[in-house]
Amino acid sequence: MTFPGLDRIEALARNLDSWQRELAGRMTELEDSSAEGVSDSGLVRVTAAADGTIVSTEVNARAMRLDSYTLAEEFTAAAKRAQEAAAARVRELVGEVMADAPGSGRSAGGRRPAESSRPAAGSQVPDDRPDWY
């Protein structure tokens, strides 16, 4: 006796191991990644880790001519840009991994199967279509 969903479950189980290995590799890549942000003047450069932690700063000697308020703004802008870039990289990597996850509804190439041209349940159907559409 065969069960209709058994083949799908077996396929998911086979793909799960490879997906977990890919996920582990991507997590390592993510932990090792960082992003950089630069102030508008280019005098302050900040590097942030994937979790947003500031890991390094670089200040051009010309920045020492700035008043403390402007220098603080330069640091804030550079840090914000570095953290935003790090967050974008995290979203990108997680999106790639999740797109290839077993059961995600995407093919190996990362594309979703063709969507139906039928309107979503509960949506309005134009009057020129038959009621059964």
Nearest to 35 by CA among 95, 88, 94: 88
Tens digits of residue pLDDT in 51-91: 999 999 999 999 999 999 999 999 999 999 999 999 999 88
Determine the average pLDDT of the residues in 86-106: 77
68 vs 10, residue with greater confidence: 68
Q: What share of the chain is helix, strand, coil (3-state, %, to 5)?
A: 50, 15, 40
Check: CB of residue 97 under 8 Å from CB of residue 23: yes
E runs forming strands in the chain: 34-38, 44-49, 54-59
pLDDT, position 23: 80
- Hey, what are 40's tokens? 């508008």
pLDDT, position 35: 95
Domains annotated for the chain, with CATH where assigned, are: 29-99 (3.30.1310.10)
Nearest to 79 by CA among 46, 57, 49, 52: 46
At 17, the pLDDT band (50, 70, 90 cuts) reads confident
Q: What is the DSSP letter of 60?
A: -
At 16, the pLDDT band (50, 70, 90 cuts) reads confident
Q: Is 54 exposed, middle or buried (CB count within 10 Å of its CB: 0-12, 13-18, 19+)?
A: middle
